[in-house]
A and B are shown apart, each in its own frame.
Chain A
């Protein structure tokens, strides 16, 4: 990683107002989100924690505008979200790089969609995630960690005002994961975007987030909303962090196991 060319993004604040959502599964309507109201301030790093399959990722899809919610509204700066837009970029659990584009071509995707030519910003984003020298590599030539870095560069090149992270580190090996957590945190501090991240990993949430929202099993309801009042540079062994972790695991019904 090189020093970040700091850019003042204008982080986006979001207002989720009584969101309901569900899917037809096998002809039966299955509710997924139940009356979710959440106010996210510009520049916050919000971690969404909850049991697997509870509907956190669905909530991210709604914020991204990939689907309209069945009930309720999502406001971005008082304007209802009506569809996807480059100010809200999603980073998925899988890198989902296009195999027919090189690393460079993948990172430039947002520019191609916008019909914009800005090779310098593509190079900068590639350098930022530490992939300099791999611009011409094909995705199948990358390791899992490198592919996810390329996906991160592809998101950053759009200068998102909200970075929506759908368990982006979930499939990485533990060492790569630790490095990526640090880098993600640094990017967030330097760039100043709003970050919303779904994760299963309580420790990850505690290390990165300024606020942790805990969800119930499906249909997801908010069962806890905890501000994390810790300095930005946190250590994994910080006793306050361990306390918070115990608290959150209790909320998730795992106190006995831990």
Chain B
């Protein structure tokens, strides 16, 4: 009898390891640190409230109230024993705001107006929240349409490239010609030939999202083990099943890499399009703020934009974790 050339011994099924990490290891330190987070923010509130400002800054008392509220919220969280892992960050942020408040609002060490105070930033949100929110919604709307269309087209074209010789013959040269071009380079042309600047931006966003998605879907589909098709075919599967239920799920890990890359390019394209053509959105707001030397507004817009981008990336990763829950291990965002 030929010796079995088996790669692995007959082990029993095992669950993914990792949940056994000791949680009680830091029990001696745990009760203390979360309780420091609240006071760190109370300190920020106290400094803001009692130490006189170096200049006539707006909303100092509101800021102190905000810091105080955060401090209270953190104390409640600590009492509910929900703060253990995030406590160091909460403390660092409280102390950081205290330092910023002292350096800029109380001592005014850095040149204005390029460096603002925390209350300047708060004032923008309190007075201009409507316009900021409106800009955010416009940006999100533009992104949703452009990125959505681009991602869907990218997956479809990628599958076509991976599965059909004729489709590949005609489409591959076009992809190679247009794809690597930064979408921003097409911006002037798009604004000329497409009458609506919004439509032009959406088209460019679709291009931005579509190219990486196309390429990675293609590579994912091309890398599908042919045996997967054989298994389904021997049970009578037709092309539709092979594409939607075999090639697509098998290529999904790669597709998500493409969707992630496409999202990054979309952000860049969105900001430039809003700065150059579209008369709304966060990019436009920032451009406007810079034009009027309204630096706190610019910082506020930057903060909102950063939260928007990281929020969308987080959303994408959540979807990915859900869709790819079958994978052994994945990157944790």
Q: Which residues of A does B touch, CB under 8 Å?
A: 61, 64-66, 84-86, 88-90, 92, 94, 96, 98-102, 109-110, 112-114, 134, 137-138, 140-146, 154, 158, 164, 171-177, 200-204
Contacts and interface: CB of A to CB of B under 8 A. Distances in A.
B176 interface: no
A172 B230 contact: no
Given A98-B246, A200-B2, A175 B234 contact: no
A90 B230 contact: yes
A61 B326 CA distance: 30
B16 interface: yes
Interface residues of B, number: 37
A113 B241 contact: yes
Given A171-B7, A203-B1, A112 B245 contact: yes
Contacts of B13: 134, 137, 141-143, 146
B326 A100 contact: yes
A124 to B, nearest CB: 18
B234 A173 contact: no
Contact of A66 (B6, B16, B233): B233
Nearest to B6: A173
Interface in B97-152: none
A176 B10 contact: yes
B57 interface: no
B180 interface: no
B236 A140 contact: no
A201 B10 contact: no
B228 A96 contact: yes
Nearest to B252: A100
Nearest to A169: B4
A100 B14 CA distance: 17
B28 interface: no
A177 B12 CA distance: 15
A123 to B, nearest CB: 18
Contacts of A98: 228, 231, 246, 249-250
A85 B10 contact: no
A89 B235 CA distance: 6
Contact of B233 (A84, A141, A176, A201): A84
A158 B235 contact: yes
B7 A145 contact: no
A90 B234 contact: yes
Nearest to B248: A100
Contacts of B234: 64-66, 84, 86, 88-90, 164
Nearest to A96: B227
B73 to A, nearest CB: 39
A173 B246 CA distance: 29
B328 interface: yes
Interface in B1-49: 1-16
Interface string B219-248: 000000101101111111100010001100
Interface of B: 1-16, 225, 227-228, 230-237, 241, 245-246, 249-250, 252, 324, 326-328
A141 B227 contact: no
B21 to A, nearest CB: 19
A85 B234 CA distance: 6
Nearest to A174: B4
Given A92-B227, A96-B231, A143 B2 contact: no
Contacts of B8: 143-144
A56 B245 CA distance: 30
Contacts of A200: 2
Contacts of A85: 236
Given A86-B235, A89-B235, 4 more contacts: A66-B230, A143-B10, A171-B6, A201-B1
A143 B235 contact: no
A108 to B, nearest CB: 11
Nearest to B225: A96
Nearest to B13: A141
Contacts of A113: 232, 235-237, 241
A64 B235 CA distance: 10
30 contacts: A66-B234, A84-B235, A86-B234, A88-B234, A90-B234, A92-B230, A96-B228, A98-B228, A98-B246, A99-B326, A101-B326, A109-B232, A112-B241, A113-B232, A137-B13, A138-B326, A141-B15, A143-B8, A143-B12, A145-B10, A171-B5, A172-B4, A172-B10, A174-B1, A174-B3, A200-B2, A201-B2, A202-B1, A203-B1, A204-B1
Nearest to B12: A143
B56 to A, nearest CB: 62
A143 B237 CA distance: 27
A173 B9 contact: yes
Contact of A110 (B2, B12, B235, B326): B235
A100 B250 contact: yes
Contacts of B236: 84-86, 110, 113-114
Contacts of B233: 66, 84
Contacts of A109: 231-232, 235
A183 to B, nearest CB: 14
B6 A172 contact: yes
A39 B233 CA distance: 25
Given A96-B225, A137-B13, A141-B13, A173 B4 contact: yes
Top 5 closest pairs, chain A to chain B, by CB: A173-B6, A110-B235, A100-B249, A90-B234, A96-B227
